[in-house]
Structure 1
């Protein structure tokens, strides 16, 4: 495993979506009914610099394996900033929840799961948690890489239909990819997206959690965004003790991070409201907020009414924003908490995605106004 995730330089002659490494693997708890590959591919970061990224491609075996299948890029929720918590590693060990993946495989679709920028590949971390642009790039480039995987059938058109699905920070990645699709990967036949518990405004999320039981998410956001925008002096808000804590926290899984760091974010900072620092305000409001562009494909948003991790107001605000921009958007609310909603919603969301895949590719005249 260590060798597969070893870092590598990506030269300027490479193209986003190009395959760099592939390895056949067994996904625990899915049995022999699927084939799966761990892959490393070319993507780009928040500044457009080429980077290696890792992910997993899972295809259900069937008698029609000679025919190309629709592709679902599924982005799970926040796994952590480092360590062996990448989805591609968790899928092999059996630690990754499979509700969403199984719901897509049951329909005969190919499922791809990105690890996210700097998660998986060693020595590149920490993971750029809450960085919208990088997350969108990684998602779209995984779809490109899946088309290039030689073990999968290639459609005559050159691009199988694609839908995106994500939950929590994964929902944020799906939304970002949809917003960037026209400028970054217009050749992809994207038909629609489903995103649950979307983190629309990272600044609001940090403010909501900075003193509560989920305060480590605020610390993780500071770490992730400062890594994504490392050309900006974002860590200047930290104390010396805070800098030491960050060096440790950026190697941890989400579970360990949440257990070990329950102090308010201000405990590690020079000021009580680091999110109001001018440079941080720029990153939080200009560079990281969802809804800046209008997706050209249908969007299904959903949220739990009792969500204490990502407040429902976050999803509601994005729904309203998209409505005002003329996006074809639907909304579903579940009487459940953050974790229950993720499980209960899977069958209905898969049905929504099937509806998107049944539609023809959207042409330029069908795009919403920006």
Structure 2
């Protein structure tokens, strides 16, 4: 496993979605997964620079058909900032929740799961948690790379219809992928997305969670965004103890972060409200601002009314905004908490995705083949 995730540098002439490494593997805990491949592919970071990203692609079968097998890019919720918490690794050890993936495989769909920027490949961390543009680009480029796998291409006569599915920060990545679709990857046959408990405003999340049971997420958000915007001096708000904490925390999983860091973020900062620092206000505003283009495909949003991790107002506000902008959007609330909503919603979400796949393909622009990753900003 270590050799496959060994560090590498992606040259500037590599195109987004291009396969760099591929290795056949087996997901033993998914009995219907007849074929699976770990891959490393090219994507773009928050500044449009090319980066390597790892992920896994799982297929229920290889039999050719008269129509392409649908592709679901499933972006899971926050796993951590480093260590052995990349989804493509946890799927092989049995530590990754399987309900959503199994539900998609049961439909005969191919499922692609991104690790996310800097999570998986050795030495690139920490993961850029809450950096939305990078998450959207990683999602779209995984859709490109999945269809470049020889066995997937051979079993599909033409381009596969694609749907996106994500929860919490994974839902954030799916939403931004839909907003970036026509600009960044217009050649993809995207049919729709489902996104639950979407984090729309990281600044609001930090302010609401910095003293609650999920306060470690504020530290993770500071670390992730400071890595995404590494050209800015974002760690200047930390004390010496804070810098030491960050160096340790950026290698931890989500469970380890929640277990080891139970003090408010300001405990490690030079001011009680680090999110009000001028540079941090700039970053948080940039990350909360919706992309200029509304999704051109249908969107299903859902949220738990008793969600204490991502307040229901976050997803509800996005639903209201999308309706105002003319997006074909639906909304469902579940009378439960953050974690139960993730599981209780599965059958309904899969039904929505199936409906999206049953619609006629929308018109798409040509592949921007002559554009480099730095042009796609």
TM-score w.r.t. length of structure 1: 0.96
Question: Structure 2: how far apart are the matches of 1:223 and 1:255?
Answer: 16
What CA distance in whole angstroms lies between the structure 2 residues aligned with 1:33 and 1:245?
A: 40
1:121-172: per-residue Cα shift (whole Å, max 9, x none)?
0100000000000000100000000010001135444x21100000011000
Contact 1:291 1:321 in 2 (8 A): no
Checking the alignment, whether the CA contact within 8 Å between 1:163 and 1:190 is kept in structure 2 is yes
| Residue of structure 1 in register with 2:375 after alignment | none
Q: Check the 8 A contact 2:72/2:109 in 1, yes or no.
A: yes
Contact 1:200/1:291 (<8 A) preserved:
no
Secondary structure in 2 matching 1:354 = helix
Q: CA deviation at 1:19?
A: 0.4
In 2, Cα distance between equivalents of 1:224 and 1:235:
11
Matched, 1:315 2:312: no
- Residue of structure 2 in register with 1:274 after alignment: 274
Instruction: Specify the SS of the correspondent of 1:151.
Output: helix
1:240 is aligned to 240
Alpha-carbon RMSD = 1.5
Matches within 5 A, 1:189-200: 189-200=189-200
- Higher mean Cα deviation, 146-155 or 130-139? 146-155
Asked if the contact 2:71–2:110 (Cα under 8 Å) also holds between the matched residues in 1, the reply is yes
The answer to whether residue 344 in structure 2 is matched with residue 335 in structure 1 is no
Distance in 1 of aligned mates of 2:81 and 2:305: 28
| Residue 217 (str. 1) matches residue 217 (str. 2) | yes
Aligned position for 2:91: 91
Q: CA deviation at 1:291?
A: 5.8
- The answer (yes or no) to whether the contact 1:130–1:288 under 8 Å persists in 2 is no
| Unaligned runs of at least 5 residues, structure 1 | 366-370
Equivalent residue of 2:151, what SS? Answer: coil
4+ aligned runs moved over 3 Å, structure 1: 62-67, 153-157, 287-293
**Structure 1 residues 7-58: Cα deviation after superposition (integer angstroms, max 9, x where no partner):** 1111112100000111111113112542111100001100000000000000
- Corresponding residue for residue 362 of structure 2: 362
CA contact (8 A) 2:162 2:189 kept: yes
Name which of structure 1's ranges 265-274 and 279-288 shifts more when overlaid on structure 2: 279-288
SS at 1:199's partner residue?
Answer: coil
CA 1:46–1:33: 2 relative to 1, 3 Å: closer
The one of the two structures with greater contact order (alpha-carbon pairs below 8 A, sep at least 6) is 2
Q: In the TM superposition, what is the alpha-carbon distance from 1:280 to its structure 2 partner? A: 0.8
- Corresponding residue pairs, total: 364
Structure 2: distance between partners of 1:295 and 1:161:
16
TM-score by length of 2: 0.94
Q: What are structure 2's unaligned runs of at least 5 residues?
A: 366-377
In the alignment, which residue of structure 2 is the partner of 1:166? Answer: 166
Post-superposition offset of 1:293: 3.3
Report the Cα offset of residue 282 of structure 1.
1.0
Decide whether the 8 Å contact of 1:201 with 1:290 is kept in 2.
Answer: no
Residue 368 of structure 1 is matched in structure 2 by: none
- Report the 3-state secondary structure (helix = DSSP H, G, I; strand = E; otherwise coil) of the residue aligned with 2:152: coil
8 Å CA contact 2:186, 2:364 repeated in 1: no
| Equivalent pair of 2:294/2:325 in contact (CA under 8 Å) | yes
Contact 2:27 2:33 in 1 (8 A): no
Cα displacement string for residues 93-113 of structure 1 (whole angstroms, at most 9, x for unaligned residues): 000001110111110000000
